[in-house]
Amino acid sequence: MESLRVRAYKTVPGQYYGTPKELWGFRLRPGRGKPVSIARAFVNANAALLGVEGIRRRLGLARIIESPGARHVLFQQRHVGLRVHRAYVTVHMDRGNRVYMAKNRAIPADLLPGTARYKITVTSAIRRAIRSIKAKAADTKVLGTERLWFPVEAHLRPAIRVRVQRNVPREEWIIHVDGRTGKTLSKYDNLALATGRARVFDPNPVVALGDWKPLLRNGRPIRPPAETYREARLGSLKGTGYLEGRRVSTRPTRKRVRRPDHRFLFESTESGFDEAMVYFHVDRAIRYLESLGYRGRRAIFRGPLGVDAHGTRDDNSWYSPGLRRLTFGTGGVDDAEDAEIILHEFGHALQDAICPDFGQSDEAAAMGEGFGDYLAASFFADRKPPRFRPTVGSWDAIADGGDPPCMRRVDENLTFEGFDHSPNADEHENGKIWSAALWEIRRAVGRDVADAVIIESHFQLDGFTRFARGARAILDADRNLYGGRHLARLRRIFQDLGIGPVG
């Protein structure tokens, strides 16, 4: 017993109970006996230090985990016959039975309530749990329930744990309902999402080769060679065998592909390739937004974005605000074969998710097109040779000429004075003015800052916004995110392009 007492150690303090959450920085002499006996003796020897003097007998063995280098013994706390959620003590020892760390989430005896008094029945808890995820009972299956204690800061609440499987969308929720009030204490989707593999262009064959001439024959695009592809990981798949996940779903696509092994290794001549391209690139773009802080309650997209990967034979693609869906055309080069076209259209979805029905005036429509071009160029710029960085859609527009060929550029020498206000004006052409402004911001402050302030600025715009309002919103975003550190450079860019007045 004495040999298992910790004398010199480091600690991570707990937040609520006044006991250490973790002990580490020591390695004791080898213990005698089986791992569970050593772990139990360790807890007894250090009960005062861990704050578990009054509950040692209520720590039951839950599990012993063997890893290549160590053994991990987990004890679960129980109180008046019920399991205490997340309340455990874990003892870690190396293969020589030398204890080197302990973790402690147990509730001290003086914080334990007397009895568990329930006012809510299990049946009522099930109804409330299903209601909390906005599901219908007919579309769900209850996989199990359990009465337990649920910690809320320094207090324990009697609760009912409900595990619910939902069919559409495929989810598996664990929900804790307060046993007295019926309120939802916690809920999360515990479905283990699958991963897959896909063959994709990133962003397109022209960039992969660094040249477009080998991809043309008699002025027409040819089948891209093997070296223009790369194999990519697909994340957050629902496990149905289709390309549908937490952020993206190709459900609107007719005759969509299904691969139970989640290996979508197609070539561009196969219809499943377009689906894999859109899933991979949109999923990655939304992950990027999450990395900027737009996740959880700040998430911009609250559900999977629908995609029709080949919804029209025309050489055209679009985002529908009414359906909240991306649609890609197959005329000429399939639009979904070029990730820069995918990101351009995703830009419209992003704007609509932040500011519904964005683009209802001439200037707002131009800003929408300019932002889509900027987003595509900015997202892939660091993966491209310098001469291709300001271009968008070099594979989609390969047969259209240009050096290099592209759908549009974001670095043209344009000012707001050249904005075409005529009734038949092309918002794509006017959008070049806005994309040039955004690209100058990126060149001045770098991608990270530029993307952050440009995306953040949309939260104070409306569907009828103007260039000047957009510029002021970017300045406000810099004040909010960076304390105005970049205001002088941003003002100079807008003034040089004749966009203003700005604050």
Structure tokens at 142: 């209850």
Q: How confident is the model at residue 462 (pLDDT cuts 50, 70, 90)?
A: confident
- Residue limits of CATH 3.10.450.40 in the chain: 122-189
Residue 189: pLDDT above 90? no
What is the average pLDDT across 32-36? 94
Is 91 buried (19+), middle (13-18) or exposed (0-12) by CB count in 10 A? buried
Would the pLDDT of 67 be above 80?
A: no
Q: Where does CATH 1.10.390.10 sit in the chain?
A: 358-503
Alpha-helix runs per DSSP H in 236-328: 271-291
Q: What percent of the chain has pLDDT over 70?
A: 98
User: What is the pLDDT at residue 150?
Assistant: 96
- Residue 75 has what pLDDT? 97
Write the pLDDT tens digit of every residue in 299-348. 899 899 999 999 999 999 999 998 999 999 999 999 999 999 999 999 99
> pLDDT tens digit string along 134-152?
988 888 999 999 999 999 9
Q: How many Cβ atoms sit within 10 Å of the Cβ of residue 219?
A: 8
What is the location of CATH 3.10.170.10 in the chain?
193-354
Query: In this predicted structure, what is the pLDDT of residue 253?
Result: 97
Of 2-16, 26-40, 409-423, where does mean pLDDT reach its minimum? 2-16
Contact 353, 368 (CB under 8 A): no
Domain 358-503, second-level architecture: Orthogonal Bundle (1.10)
Bridging pattern class, strands 325-329 and 305-312: parallel
Conformational region of residue 33, where left means phi above 0, alpha means psi within -120 to 50, and beta covers everything else: left
Name which CATH class applies to 2-111.
alpha beta
pLDDT for the residue numbered 302: 85
Summarize pLDDT for 392-403 with one digit per residue, the tens. Answer: 999 999 999 999
**Tens digits of residue pLDDT in 103-127:** 999 999 999 998 899 999 999 999 9
What's the CATH number of domain 122-189, 3.30.1330.10, 3.10.450.40, 3.40.50.300, 3.40.630.30? 3.10.450.40
pLDDT exceeds cutoff 90 at 268: yes
Domain 193-354 annotated CATH 3.90.1310.10: no
Summarised one tens digit per residue, pLDDT across range 469-494 is: 899 999 999 998 998 999 999 999 99
pTM value is 0.68
pLDDT at 12 (0 to 100): 85
- In angstroms, the CA 349 to CA 324 distance is 7
**What's the mean pLDDT when you consider all of the chain?**
93
The one-letter amino acid at 294 = Y
pLDDT band at 442 (very low <50, low <70, confident <90, very high): very high
Confidence at residue 357, expressed as pLDDT on a 0 to 100 scale: 86
Range in 1-5, 193-197, 366-370, 456-460 the model is least confident about? 1-5
Task: Quickly state the pLDDT bin for 503 (edges 50, 70, 90).
Answer: low
Average pLDDT over residues 70-75: 91
- CATH 3.30.310 range(s) for the chain read 2-111
- State the pLDDT at residue 95: 87
pLDDT value at residue 295: 84
